[in-house]
Amino acid sequence: MTFFSNIWRNEKSREIIVQIIVLFFLGWFISWLVMNVNANFEALGKDISFEFLFIPAGYDINQYLIDYDSRDSHLRAGIVGLLNTGLVAFFGIILATVLGIALGIIRLSKNWLASKIAYWYVEFTRNVPILLHILLWHGIIINTLPHPRKAISLGEVTFLSNRGFYIPKPLTESGIELVYLFLVIAIIFSTLFAKYCKRKQDLTGIQYPVFWINFSVIFFLPLIAFFLSGMPISLEIPALKGFNFRGGMHMSPELAALTFALGIYTAAFIAEIVRAGILAIDKGQREAAESIGLKPSKVMNLVILPQARRVIIPPLTSQYLNLTKNSSLAIAIGYMDLVATLGGISLNQTGREMETMLIVMLIYLSVSLSISALMNWYNSKVKLVGR
């Protein structure tokens, strides 16, 4: 008996015993699950196979970035859905970032009224579920915007209606290559110029207005090329034909509602992150910067923001990730994203719950795991080196 009690009292061997017991139960649990799945599948006459991915999907998707029609395979439908997820996440992230940063800064402004407005925006928005935001915006677009014939027109080029938004579409003609070429040259020049100015400043202390010079180079050089080559870009303006608009770019009510809802909701969280990030900077940093005579914009750009960035970026990325995951709620308003195509209609048509959900989950999982891996790498890179 003493042998066993000695084993139990020794920390090392006890740890091993506990782990073996845990492993044993885990193995038992997994085999129990597998057995159940086998028994259930046998009773239903089902099997696990991914061949369904290659048979024609047989349903239409109203919004696609790559060519798709109902004769294409389920796999292609899934890819179209994935791209649609990417599309709405992209628009949503842009809207959320711009709005969120603006709100976060207004929230810290000395102006009492503006700061209170931003505060109540944040509180009202983030305390209401995202699904409600999506349905509310979708309802507003569908129910309160006018019919295309009476569409709200913004300068006769952009039209808002209950069938979606119609935006002018840029069309490129021959000669556009020159514009692209000049753009590339401008970018290369401005990178080199920025490097040169940095070195010059390090050596002599002389500062050039780098930002304005580079900005005008990148903006005006392609513009000159644009006029030289005979204006090769034209706008296709949507026009009312019959009951609906033709031409231009069409943003469906679903895409618009989803973008607004995701952007506005996530902006509230980003505003709080930005505010917390700026407040996290020690007061002494600002005072020191002011006392050596930097003007307010320099204090912000050279002292506060570089330090705040370290605090802001990790939670900001996780908000982007949340936004992307929340875009899966698109299914509630019928926007065809990954969950609605592969995990929705394909699932219902083929009856392969196990396989479709597995693929959908793995895709989301790999996206979020790779982004968190990237974040860990970034964190370790910018971490303050402690004593």
Residue 154 vs 358, nearer CB to another protein? 358
- Least separation in angstroms between CB 43 and another protein: 6
Distance (Å, rounded) from C-alpha 197 to C-alpha 201? 6
- Least separation in angstroms between CB 171 and another protein: 37
- Least separation in angstroms between CB 32 and another protein: 9
- Residue ranges in contact with another protein by CB under 8 A: 15, 18-19, 22-23, 26, 33, 36-37, 39-41, 43, 109-114, 117, 123-124, 127-132, 135-136, 138-140, 142-144, 325-326, 328-329, 331-332, 339, 343, 347, 353-354, 357, 360-361, 364-365, 368-369
Distance (Å, rounded) from C-alpha 169 to C-alpha 167? 6
Q: Which of 326, 311, 305, 332 is nearest to 368 (CA)?
A: 326
- Least separation in angstroms between CB 109 and another protein: 7
Residue 226 vs 320, nearer CB to another protein? 320
Within 13 Å, how many C-alpha atoms sit on residue 122's CB side? 25
- Least separation in angstroms between CB 48 and another protein: 11
Residue 39 vs 224, nearer CB to another protein? 39
Contact between residue 134 and residue 257 where contact means Cβ atoms under 8 Å apart: yes
- Least separation in angstroms between CB 258 and another protein: 14
- C-alpha to C-alpha distances, 295 to 194, 292, 375, nearest whole angstrom: 22, 9, 33
Instruction: Tell me how crowded residue 288 is: count the other CB atoms within 10 A of its CB.
Output: 13
What number of H helices and E strands is found in the chain?
14, 8
Residue 249 vs 321, nearer CB to another protein? 321
Beta bridge partners, 154, equal 158
Residue 39 vs 94, nearer CB to another protein? 39
- Considering only CA atoms, give the Rg of the chain: 28
Distance (Å, rounded) from C-alpha 167 to C-alpha 365? 35
Token duo for residue 49 = 């196979």
Residue 145 vs 278, nearer CB to another protein? 145
